Structure 1
């Protein structure tokens, strides 16, 4: 049985999502340029720098800003810190850009610097899950739980079960996590609802997926991934005009090529091919740039783009194989299979059926 969002009067009360985003950016701006007594820019203390790195990473996710991820990574790489909080922050930025081996090394360093074991194990579990180490990730998640009603632990376990397609157990954990939330920030709940929507999208339950993406976006109206996935559901349900309307605002606030790629796809679906072309080209240029700088994080997304929107199956297969070399996960293998099937289909179409009169 699929889970539906609770009624508005049963929703946890949090800060207004739009205001929270404004405050997040103000906090980042205030920390990024502290002013000393003489009016010069004062260097951030190590602890402040670690906080700023995490805030930039959070905003990068919420608004779909790769530039924030890169800025966080540059800031975290500025020194070789011995501080546990700084090492944890750097591990998270490296994991965000899928530099998993380096992230694990940072976690080891953070452990030697005195970081709490629960925090280290939670980060390690996330990385292990990303690279296909599900059994190890599950064991770590269970061991890190400070108590059975902890929101962070329950959320992580819910996402873990969702990734394993254990939807009944995941639904139970998603509900428990929502009930355990005690803060006023809207971001954790929005992210939780978004991941719940991703689970149902993967399962093909489009109405339930849409309801959870809607719930995430109602809580944080500027939440780019939720908006992008809502547009994806619109396309799948045969409503490309709504998808176009949802995606257009993201062209101004996000630099993630996924959104112009989906806009090009939606515009094609309504027959506006000429209008779609610049967005396809923008996505192609951006993906090539990101693959050159961050292949671990973007090769798979770029492969999917070239197979679906970009119209270059050979490039898609090349990037899919590159992804498989970096990560031998079930998703990487599935991407390679899809790319090879597309390549074989293209070869078949190119050869075409021979005319009976010339087939001797």
Structure 2
């Protein structure tokens, strides 16, 4: 297989993994990327493809090393900068990421750069500016594929979800769903909104098909929570155990990518604050972002509550 074809296949596998919530696709993409670099170790396209797979699995230091090598071996500066900005943003280095994205916008203000700016501003909590940029990015889209717009709608929904505006979040997730009906992250987040709106039956209806199609335990965990809210305790426990087992596998294989999700699971439906604290601390060691610190603080508070309850129960 030619390098360009191999890189294209890797990118498509990463996209399918994201859209359908398939960890197996991410893993297959990473495997193919390793093979591609083995065959063409000084090809910028191969190195760039591997950098993307490593970033997807949150192996950020290795991704940055690959991006540097890709730049030295012919990869376009703008492409390398865009991928480096993604990594910096994931690590919470917002100022550095912003500088790279603005540099790209100075070259060409298009859907990709405007969308990247919108997502970054949303991450920084600059909601008004992010909302403006989301709209501007949408107006600049000239493609025919529904995936980029669905991803933009989803990220806009995540912003409003974090802000606590459930109606706006729901509207954005529904927009993403209309563009790509099987878009797993949008459906999963929509189910979270339905749970927060006290409609667990709607959440179950959204989540059950996801648990059949996706191997990401997040959906099994959310389904367990929704079933519990419906008083279907036995079935909820079955899905909780399934999610717990899968998180155990993924934390061993890809700790950088799944420690935070696993910690959240154990702090909620998993009901094991001690394990949640261990994973939150592990995640904080990987990246010192505001979200990682917030997760750790949640875990500490949860563990403190458990300790206080034990003391109260032991008291005469």
In the superposition, the TM-score normalised over structure 2's length comes to 0.97
Cα distance between partner residues in 2 of 1:113 and 1:260: 43
The counterpart of 1:332, out of the listed 292, 302, 309, is 292
The counterpart of 1:115, out of the listed 61, 75, 80, is 75
Tell which has more relative contact order, 1 or 2 (C-alpha 8 A, sep 6+): 1
Cα distance between partner residues in 2 of 1:275 and 1:354: 32
Cα distance between partner residues in 1 of 2:86 and 2:303: 33
Cα distance between partner residues in 2 of 1:92 and 1:171: 27
The counterpart of 1:53, out of the listed 1, 6, 10, is 10
Aligned partner of 1:259 in structure 2 is 219
The counterpart of 2:266, out of the listed 281, 299, 306, is 306
The list of structure 1 runs, each at least 4 consecutive aligned residues, that deviate by more than 6 angstroms after superposition, is: none
Encode CA deviations 1:69-111: one digit per residue, 9 max, x unaligned.
0000000011333211111111010000000010001111110
Cα distance between partner residues in 2 of 1:346 and 1:301: 21
Check the 8 A contact 1:125/1:141 in 2, yes or no: yes
Cα distance between partner residues in 2 of 1:249 and 1:66: 16
Aligned partner of 2:123 in structure 1 is 163
Offset, 1:149: 3.6
For 2:268, what is the secondary structure of its paired residue?
Answer: helix
Check the 8 A contact 1:299/1:322 in 2, yes or no: yes
Aligned partner of 2:132 in structure 1 is 172
Cα distance between partner residues in 2 of 1:195 and 1:326: 23
The counterpart of 2:145, out of the listed 185, 193, 201, is 185
Q: Please tell me whether residue 65 in structure 1 is matched to residue 22 in structure 2.
A: yes
Encode CA deviations 1:209-252: one digit per residue, 9 max, x unaligned.
00000000000001000000000000000000000011111111
Pairwise CA RMSD: 1.1
Aligned partner of 1:236 in structure 2 is 196
In structure 2, the gaps of 5 or more residues are none
Cα distance between partner residues in 2 of 1:252 and 1:342: 31
Q: Please tell me whether residue 89 in structure 1 is matched to residue 46 in structure 2.
A: no
Offset, 1:354: 7.4
For 1:47, what is the secondary structure of its paired residue?
Answer: helix
In the superposition, the TM-score normalised over structure 1's length comes to 0.85
Encode CA deviations 1:42-62: one digit per residue, 9 max, x unaligned.
xx1111111110000000000
In structure 1, the gaps of 5 or more residues are 1-43
Q: Please tell me whether residue 206 in structure 1 is matched to residue 160 in structure 2.
A: no
For 1:120, what is the secondary structure of its paired residue?
Answer: helix
Q: Please tell me whether residue 349 in structure 1 is matched to residue 309 in structure 2.
A: yes
Cα distance between partner residues in 2 of 1:242 and 1:257: 19
- Distance change in 2, residues 1:108/1:354 (3 Å): closer
Check the 8 A contact 1:287/1:298 in 2, yes or no: yes
Cα distance between partner residues in 2 of 1:117 and 1:47: 17
Check the 8 A contact 1:84/1:111 in 2, yes or no: yes
Check the 8 A contact 1:118/1:145 in 2, yes or no: no
Check the 8 A contact 1:119/1:144 in 2, yes or no: no
Cα distance between partner residues in 1 of 2:44 and 2:235: 50
Offset, 1:146: 5.7
For 2:269, what is the secondary structure of its paired residue?
Answer: helix
Encode CA deviations 1:296-331: one digit per residue, 9 max, x unaligned.
000010000000011111100000011111111111
Q: Please tell me whether residue 76 in structure 1 is matched to residue 33 in structure 2.
A: yes
Q: Which of the two has greater helix per residue?
A: 2
Cα distance between partner residues in 2 of 1:51 and 1:86: 10
For 1:200, what is the secondary structure of its paired residue?
Answer: helix
For 1:145, what is the secondary structure of its paired residue?
Answer: helix
